[in-house]
């Protein structure tokens, strides 16, 4: 279980760090949209450097200089703040898109509510007019009833005619008021139908929109706490960014510690440990041959050393319990308690040694300068060098028409060759 746990920790640490890096890089690219590609490259390298620097600080803390440790620690802290800022930009941008959709949705609902409010106001105004006309109608009805009672009690024709005129005027006004009230009631009926249509449309928009489902929990929290929804979202984002990246860094440190405790190696050292491959058939055959030779040599030397070592090893290895000898590999396995120091034993690895290749040794040609001294002297001229033979007096150059047959008293020239001088024999 321990073997699996450290790899689970490693995958978890890399997953959390990778998610934090992705959100941070994407958020920073949204904040600096004018150079998003450059920001993505820069932020990605910084995120990788942060993880590697954190691991290096944890592994080699005691071996680093104090100034370097302080600088790297501050750098990791600043990079964590940058990562948190990127995550904040990513989450706030995501909420802003939802908020814009919500604002548009609420604006459409507001337009419907405004139209509905206009119709409702018209209905209310018409209702007030209807109420006023209804009161006037009641007054006229009462007046007509009174005039009709006076008509019955009038004795003169003039009084009766006056009462009849009042009654006719009241009837005419009553008919007009009744017509107006009927028209207003019909108008209110149409307006009420429009209001109902707007109500239905508003309900359909609320029910068919996905925005309400996205911001529903935030709206409930906002209503519960009495805080504006934008502030609620801001607090939630701050909680996330103060947990996300610090958790990633902490998991990286814990993973290194788990690897160090369980295997004695850190994650970096574990990655460099390579298992030795199995020896080939040729190598195994060669190893077996060497082991057999070693056994034969030990068997030959054993009789000659019996008397020498007799008494030397007395009482040293009397108890050989727990000592195992593997005849196939030639290894001697001692019990762990008898070994003072636990050491790793590495088996020899026999590699294929290539045969020597005979190659002709080519000696480089040493080039001498044309002018040894770096400048041309008179002695370097070929004609002067050949003429200077080491004599104090230069040899005279032969002339084409030189016919001298004798030089001095005891030297002669033969066959006309002036380049050769012969000594004269004494007669």
Report the candidate in 52, 17, 7 with the shortest Cα–Cα distance to residue 255. Answer: 7
What are the pLDDT digits (tens) for 190-226?
888 888 888 888 888 877 777 766 777 777 888 888 8
- At 268 the pLDDT is 53
Helix (H, G, I), strand (E, B) or coil at 307: coil
Checking if the pLDDT of 366 tops 70, the result is: no
Task: Determine contact, residues 72/53, Cβ cutoff 8 Å.
Answer: yes
Backbone angles phi, psi at 57, to 5 degrees: -60, -40
- 396 Cβ neighbours under 8 A, 6+ residues apart: none
Predicted confidence at residue 151, as pLDDT, reads 66
SS3 sequence, 147-197? Answer: HHHHHHHCCCHHHHHHHHHHHHHHHHHHHHHHHHHHHHHHHHHHHHHHHHH
Every domain of the chain and the residues it spans: 2-268, 398-427
CB burial class (10 A; 0-12, 13-18, 19+) of residue 23?
buried
Condensed to tens digits (0 to 9), the pLDDT of residues 237-255 reads: 888 888 888 888 888 888 8
pLDDT in tens, 104-113: 878 888 888 8
Phi/psi at 274 (5° precision): -115, 130
- Look at residue 130 in the predicted model and tell me its pLDDT: 86
Residue 232: pLDDT over 90: no
Please compute the mean of the pLDDT values over residues 117-144 and round it to a whole number.
85
- What does the DSSP 8-state code read for residue 255? H
Q: What is the pLDDT of residue 167?
A: 74
Considering the chain, what percentage of its residues have pLDDT values greater than 90? 4
Return the pLDDT at 71: 93
CA dihedral 380, 383, 384, 388 (to 10 degrees): 110
Least confident of 116-120, 137-141, 181-185, 302-306: 302-306
> How high is the pLDDT of residue 319?
46
Is the pLDDT assigned to residue 292 strictly greater than 50? yes
Q: pLDDT tens digits, residue range 310-333?
A: 444 444 444 445 545 565 555 555
**For position 2, what pLDDT does the model report?**
45
Of residues 405 and 131, more confidence is placed in 131
pLDDT for 318: 44
Question: Residue 1 has what pLDDT?
Answer: 45
Range 206-211, long-range pairs (CB < 8 A, 24+ positions) = 206/109, 209/105, 211/98, 211/101, 211/102, 211/105
For residues 383 and 371, give the distance between their C-alpha atoms in angstroms, rounded to a whole number: 16
pTM of the model: 0.48
């Amino acid at each position: 279980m321990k073997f699996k746990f450290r790899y689970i920790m490693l995958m978890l640490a890399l997953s959390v760090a990778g998610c934090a890096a992705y959100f941070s890089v994407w958020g920073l690219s949204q904040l600096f949209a004018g150079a998003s590609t450059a920001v993505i490259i820069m932020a990605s390298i910084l995120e990788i450097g942060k993880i590697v620097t954190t691991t290096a600080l944890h592994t080699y803390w005691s071996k680093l200089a104090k100034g370097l440790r302080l600088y790297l620690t501050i750098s990791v802290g600043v990079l964590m703040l940058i990562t948190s800022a990127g995550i904040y930009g990513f989450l706030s941008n995501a909420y802003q898109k939802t908020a814009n959709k919500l604002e548009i949705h609420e604006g459409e609902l507001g337009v419907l509510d405004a139209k509905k409010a206009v119709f409702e106001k018209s209905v209310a105004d018409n209702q007030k007019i209807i109420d006023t006309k209804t009161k006037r109608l009641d007054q006229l009805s009462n007046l007509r009833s009174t005039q009709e009672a006076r008509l019955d009690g009038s004795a003169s024709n003039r009084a009766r005619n006056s009462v009849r005129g009042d009654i006719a005027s009241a009837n005419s006004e009553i008919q007009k008021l009744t017509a107006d009230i009927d028209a207003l009631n019909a108008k209110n009926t149409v307006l009420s139908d429009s209001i109902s249509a707007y109500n239905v449309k508003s309900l359909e928009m609320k029910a068919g929109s996905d925005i309400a489902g996205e911001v529903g929990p935030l709206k409930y929290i906002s209503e519960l706490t009495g805080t504006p929804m934008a502030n609620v979202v801001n607090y939630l984002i701050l909680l996330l960014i103060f947990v996300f990246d610090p958790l990633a860094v902490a998991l990286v440190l814990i993973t290194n510690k788990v690897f160090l405790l369980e295997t004695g190696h850190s994650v970096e050292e574990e990655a460099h440990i390579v298992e030795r491959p199995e020896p080939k058939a040729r190598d195994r055959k060669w190893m077996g041959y060497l082991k057999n030779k070693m056994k034969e040599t030990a068997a030959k030397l054993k009789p000659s050393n019996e008397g020498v070592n007799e008494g030397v090893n007395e009482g040293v290895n009397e108890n050989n319990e727990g000592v195992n000898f593997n005849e196939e590999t030639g290894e001697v396995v001692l019990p762990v308690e008898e070994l003072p120091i636990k050491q790793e034993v590495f088996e020899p690895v026999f590699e294929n040694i290539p045969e020597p290749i005979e190659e002709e040794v080519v000696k480089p040609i040493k080039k001498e300068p044309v002018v040894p001294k770096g400048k041309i002297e008179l002695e370097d001229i070929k004609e002067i060098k050949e003429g200077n033979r080491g004599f104090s007096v230069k040899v005279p150059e032969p002339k084409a028409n030189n016919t001298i047959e004798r030089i001095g008293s005891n030297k002669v020239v033969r066959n006309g060759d002036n380049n050769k001088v012969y000594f004269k024999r004494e007669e």
